[in-house]
Amino acid sequence: MADDWMLEYVGKGYRQDATGPEKWGCWELCVEIKQRQGVRIPSSLFGWRRILRRLQSGEAPRKFDIVLFSDPETKIVVHAGTMFNEVDMLHSAPEFGGVVLDRLSRYPKHVRAIVRHDP
C-alpha cells in the first residue's frame, strides 16, 4: 500500500511536545504526517482552526483526517491522532508508551472533533 509509510512511526516512544524521530508528542506526530503529505499545519494544537475544517455530522472520517479528543469533564482538547484508514488511527500517548495504531471506536465519549485539510 502506498501509505504504509505511516506505520514506520508505530513503536516510537512518547514524550509530550516531542518532534521525533524516536519520541513523539500527539499533535507533533499529526504535524509530521501532514508535512510528509506536503501540508503545513500549525505547530500548536490550538491553531488547528486556522487551516483545518471540522467535519459535519454524517461525514465519515477518512485517511489523514485528524481526530481531536477532549477531557470528558472539562471539554478541553487534550489529545490528537491521525486517521490511518476509516476505522483506525495513529496516535502517540503515554498510556501506550508511544505511537500505536488504534481503533477510533474505542473512544466514543472522548472525540471532540474530526478535522480535515481541504486544499
Query: Does residue 65 contact residue 114 with C-beta atoms inside 8 Å?
Result: yes
Q: What are the tens digits of pLDDT across the range 69-97?
A: 998 889 889 999 999 999 999 999 999 99
Q: How far apart are CA 101 and CA 48, in angstroms?
A: 22
What is the value of pTM for the model shown?
A: 0.92
Pairing of strands 111-116, 53-54: antiparallel
Q: How far apart are CA 119 and CA 100, in angstroms?
A: 28
Task: Map residue 33 onto helix, strand or coil.
Answer: helix
Over 80: is that where the pLDDT of 117 sits?
Answer: yes
Q: What are the tens digits of pLDDT across the range 16-42?
A: 999 999 999 999 999 999 999 999 999
